[in-house]
Chain A
Amino acid sequence: MTIDVDAVLVASSERVPAPAGRASGNLLAPFTPWLSTLAILLLWTAVSAGGLIGPRALPSPFDVLAAAWELTANGRLPAALVASLARVLAGTALGLVLGLGAGLLAGYYRVGEMVVDRPLQMLRAVPFNALVPLFIVAFGIGELMKVSLIAVGVLVPIYLNTFAGVRNVDSKLVEVGLVYRVPQRLIASKILFLGALPSILTGLRFSLAIAWIALVTSETVNTNAGVGYILAQAQRFVRTDQVFLCIVIYALLGILTDYLVRRLEGRLLAWRKSYDGR
């Protein structure tokens, strides 16, 4: 009798693990998020073909494609992409290392918080493009200034989210670590860091978005290579098709980095179950 009751109780309290993702029976499903983008492209084509707005102000998508071909054929676009990507990578790497380091320092240690938090909160309050004149004075008008500007832009969001992430880890989880005699260094790396990871990855996404903005800002100053240089030249010679091309390139690069972070989140945060919309 008792055994029977127990079996029923256990069965009713146990749930089969939920499926990992949403079932998608539709082959077109991966493309549905792009439908609205496609609609905008079609609208763009229609409006430019209608002739209400001249190609000077609004080149058609085909003009932009032609510009892309022209700049690729003469080698300017590939060279510009390499130069811009190198800047972004260098600045982002520097900013991430510094921001993550400062965030962990401030998160783990109250002394660390006292040292780094106030200056970084002040830095956060300053729009980073206001730093351009200062950086020109400090670092000149070369690559160092550009990379530093990107690094500072990147540093702030990753710092804020790392710090907040560590401090939001449930203190009970740390106590579990203490009860089981987990060494301090493992409490830091296996409890606090992993607990902060969702927040850190959110910070990473903000940081990378800012990296591209900082790149554009930095490339408006004395540039002779890079996507920003093409943009500046195109503006001077009223090549609206090239202006549009540069904007599209920035958009695509932004989407690409966002996609990469999402993939990273999917891998690193597979343990999480969160609301994914109705």
Chain B
Amino acid sequence: MALANEAVARPRSVSLDVHAVSHAYDLEGRVLDVLDGIELAVRPGEFVALLGPSGSGKSTLLRLAAGLERPRAGALLEDGQPITAPDPSRILVFQDPTLFPWRTVWWNVATGLEARGLLAKHRHRVDDALALVKLETFANAYPHQLSGGMAQRVAIARALVNDPQLLLLDEPFGKLDSLTRLSMQNELLSLWQKVGFTALLVTHDVEEALLLANRVIVFSDRPARIVAEIAVDKPHPRRRDDPELVELRRAVLATLGISADV
């Protein structure tokens, strides 16, 4: 309830506009084109999934949106403002939890507030974030004492404590076992519904994309272009075996060039 009230006071989500973005890397003197004229408009509060072959530049788009890199061409806008540097309103969650091994769970989550000098006044936000991911009893544990799923939940709490309006998720469940992944997907979904951030999720998992996202964007091979855009107009929670989703899965796999008779 407290969260809902806060949401009124502070806008919880932003739009993300990607305009004609192209990007390339220098690889030992050769230029490696990664993104080729990406156009994408994500509405505030929308959950968009990016699918595509591995190495197709999905993660690169997230790094650009996070402000870790600047695109070679084009522009990225957050609520109309150009993205030029990292900002606590846009948090990137990596595939690995990348927790600081020398910090307890509590202090890992506190990282962002501490960096901005807000920790003294907002200690309770760390506790709230840990409660959101149901890890309050592990506040004093060190990362090596956590399972993979717990560590990734800490990483998500570390992001949420900053009240991100845009959550950028780079295959956050890619390395988890399949059972943990299912429960983490449900948790992410309920956090998204509760907190109301805009979400951009990179994933390899077609089913994951269809279960969570309002819209699925399919990238081509590198250099990536958008080859398909599939709206998923189904209310949450969705059922994996929903005939419509099964049909959509077939369609998405076809755009990825994979026979759907699997």
Q: How far is the CA of A172 from the CA of B104 in the complex (A)?
A: 18
Q: How far is the CA of A14 from the CA of B168 in the complex (A)?
A: 25
Among candidates A9, A170, A183, A269, residue contacting B183 with C-beta atoms closer than 8 Å:
A9
Among candidates B98, B111, B146, residue contacting A15 with C-beta atoms closer than 8 Å:
B146
Is A178 within 8 A of B144, CB to CB? no
Give B203-218 interface residues, CB cut-off 8 Å to A. Answer: none
Assuming A9-B182, A17-B141, A179-B92, is B98 touching A170 (CB within 8 A)? Answer: yes
B24 at the interface (CB under 8 A from A): no
Residues of A contacting B: mostly: helix
A138 at the interface (CB under 8 A from B): no
B192 at the interface (CB under 8 A from A): no
Q: How far is the CA of A27 from the CA of B252 in the complex (A)?
A: 66
Q: What sequence of 0s and 1s flags, for each residue 1-17 of chain A, a beta carbon within 8 Å of any chain B beta carbon?
A: 01000100110111101
Q: Which residues of B contact A14 (CB under 8 A)?
A: 147, 149-150
Assuming A18-B145, A271-B101, is B88 touching A180 (CB within 8 A)? Answer: yes
B186 at the interface (CB under 8 A from A): yes
Is A176 within 8 A of B102, CB to CB? no
Is A180 within 8 A of B111, CB to CB? yes
Is B68 within 8 A of A175, CB to CB? yes
Chain A nearest CB from B138 CB (Å) reads: 8
How many A-B residue pairs lie within 8 Å, measured between CB atoms?
90
Is A12 within 8 A of B179, CB to CB? yes
Is B94 within 8 A of A172, CB to CB? yes
Q: Which residues of A contact B141 (CB under 8 A)?
A: 17
Q: Which residues of B contact A194 (CB under 8 A)?
A: 100, 102
In this complex, which of B102, B116, B147 has the most chain A Cβ atoms within 10 angstroms of its Cβ? B102
Is A172 within 8 A of B98, CB to CB? yes
Q: How far is the CA of A181 from the CA of B164 in the complex (A)?
A: 13
Q: How far is the CA of A195 from the CA of B142 in the complex (A)?
A: 15
Is A15 within 8 A of B147, CB to CB? yes
Count residues of B near A (Cβ-Cβ below 8 Å): 40
Assuming A15-B146, A182-B115, is B180 touching A271 (CB within 8 A)? Answer: no
Q: How far is the CA of A213 from the CA of B183 in the complex (A)?
A: 59
A110 at the interface (CB under 8 A from B): no
Is B179 within 8 A of A173, CB to CB? no
Q: How far is the CA of A62 from the CA of B102 in the complex (A)?
A: 48
Q: Which residues of A contact B86 (CB under 8 A)?
A: 178-181
> Nearest residue in A to B146 (C-beta to C-beta)?
A15
Q: How far is the CA of A273 from the CA of B146 in the complex (A)?
A: 12
Among candidates B68, B111, B147, residue contacting A13 with C-beta atoms closer than 8 Å:
B147
Among candidates A12, A183, A272, residue contacting B115 with C-beta atoms closer than 8 Å:
A183
Q: What sequence of 0s and 1s flags, for each residue 245-278 of chain A, a beta carbon within 8 Å of any chain B beta carbon?
A: 0000000000000000000000001011100000
B21 at the interface (CB under 8 A from A): no
Q: How far is the CA of A6 from the CA of B116 in the complex (A)?
A: 36
Chain B nearest CB from A179 CB (Å) reads: 5
Q: List 7 A-B contacts (CB under 8 A).
A: A9-B179, A13-B177, A14-B150, A15-B145, A191-B100, A195-B102, A273-B144
Among candidates A6, A179, A182, A269, residue contacting B68 with C-beta atoms closer than 8 Å:
A179
A82 at the interface (CB under 8 A from B): no
Is B111 within 8 A of A272, CB to CB? no
Q: Which residues of A contact B94 (CB under 8 A)?
A: 172, 175-176
Q: How far is the CA of A177 from the CA of B68 in the complex (A)?
A: 11
A77 at the interface (CB under 8 A from B): no
Give A54-100 interface residues, CB cut-off 8 Å to B. Answer: none
> Nearest residue in B to A6 (C-beta to C-beta)?
B183
Q: What sequence of 0s and 1s flags, for each residue 107-140 of chain B, a beta carbon within 8 Å of any chain A beta carbon?
A: 0000110011000000000000000001000100
Q: Which residues of B contact A269 (CB under 8 A)?
A: 102
Is B98 within 8 A of A271, CB to CB? no
> Nearest residue in A to B98 (C-beta to C-beta)?
A172
Is B115 within 8 A of A186, CB to CB? yes
Is A179 within 8 A of B66, CB to CB? yes
Among candidates B102, B162, B180, B186, residue contacting A197 with C-beta atoms closer than 8 Å:
B102
Q: How far is the CA of A6 from the CA of B182 in the complex (A)?
A: 9
Known: A10-B134, A195-B102. 12 other contacts (CB 8 A): A6-B183, A10-B183, A14-B147, A15-B146, A170-B98, A172-B96, A175-B94, A175-B98, A181-B86, A182-B111, A182-B115, A272-B144
